[in-house]
Amino acid sequence: MKLRHPLSGAIYTKHGDDRVLVESADGQSGVFAPGARHLRGALREADPHMIGWVLSPDMQDRRTGTSRGNADQAGRPPGVGLPKLRTTTRNKKGRQDMDLGLTGRKALITAASRGIGLAIAQTFADEGCDVAICARGESGLEAARKDLEGRGDLKVFARAVDVAEGEAFKGFISDAAEALGGLDIYVSNASGGAGPGEQAWQASFDVDVMGAVRGVEAALPALEATDAGSVVFISSTAALEYLGVPQAYNAMKAALIAHAGDLSQALAPKGVRVNVITPGPIYFEGGSWEMIKQAMPEMYKGALAQCAIGRMGAPEEVARATVFLASPAASLITGANLVCDGGFTKRMPF
């Protein structure tokens, strides 16, 4: 099985039952296990989601079909775009629009060099927050840092770190809180990706679950010291309904929802709220759903057809929901799981 990464152009080739050979556009190569764990070779970074899809046992059966006719890449019919938001600070009657209370706050977001994580960091920055971000790749992180610094007079702290490396990750959080002068908000967004086998389960556990656990532990002293301590875990609708493939990703995202519920009760007396954002299919360049569209068009079309609003979501839509839920404007909300999926899931959410 061989796939080309739609963003970087790297070639991902199945290289045994639990290994993937990745060859970059500049000629470097490396061999990786599930979760993008580097095994050997000069190339040391790879996309964990792409590795998961290449290793998926039913990948071959789904590499047929065609893309949707006149719709754009995210399934939007011609002329249908994202809703526009007002940029003015006062409404038509002259009254001040709702203030999220984020000016001068400090927010930390993991896996924030692209996609949903970057959109969350950008939205916090646009609301006047100082931000700390991390990711594994240096180049993407540097580009994200420059983008955030260009959004206003704010502090940006960025460091390349693997969330699965517990002590290094905790050190990043402590250093970020010191550099920003505190921490009000912690958003756990990192994911170990998908894939079969025990290695994929371990990678998902180390990143998705233990990343959240360690992150809260390291951030808690700073969160307790503020009057607006807030934690948000990014889960997935794969935790709520059958996605089509039994895999670690689904179970670990469900574990996040359960753990957040426990934390919301335990940390409420300390003034720290804990909530979950659960996105459905989110389409962006280089993201999982673009890879699925390329590799498994029938699965992509099926997911698109299940979106009640007729399209997949965009990272900025998840970011807006996350930033609101994390903000002091949502001060009464804790222990909630806010599903952002455009009607993708069909359960009755009692």
> Active-site positions?
235-236, 249, 253
Establish how many alpha carbons lie within 13 A of residue 314's alpha carbon, considering only the half-sphere containing its beta carbon. 13
**What is the distance between the alpha carbons of residues 341 and 187, in angstroms, rounded to a whole number?**
19
Angstrom CA distances, 307 to 80, 98, 135, stand at 14, 30, 30
Q: Which residues pair with 108 in a beta bridge?
A: 132, 186
Q: Which residues pair with 337 in a beta bridge?
A: 276
Contact between 238 and 250 (Cβ < 8 Å): yes
Angstrom CA distances, 226 to 129, 220, 271, 302, stand at 14, 10, 8, 45
Contact between 140 and 179 (Cβ < 8 Å): no
Distance from chain centroid for Cα 28: 27
Q: Count the Cβ atoms, other than its own, within 10 Å of residue 206.
A: 20
**What is the distance between the alpha carbons of residues 141 and 112, in angstroms, rounded to a whole number?**
8
* 38: phi then psi, degrees, rounded to nearest 5: -70, 130
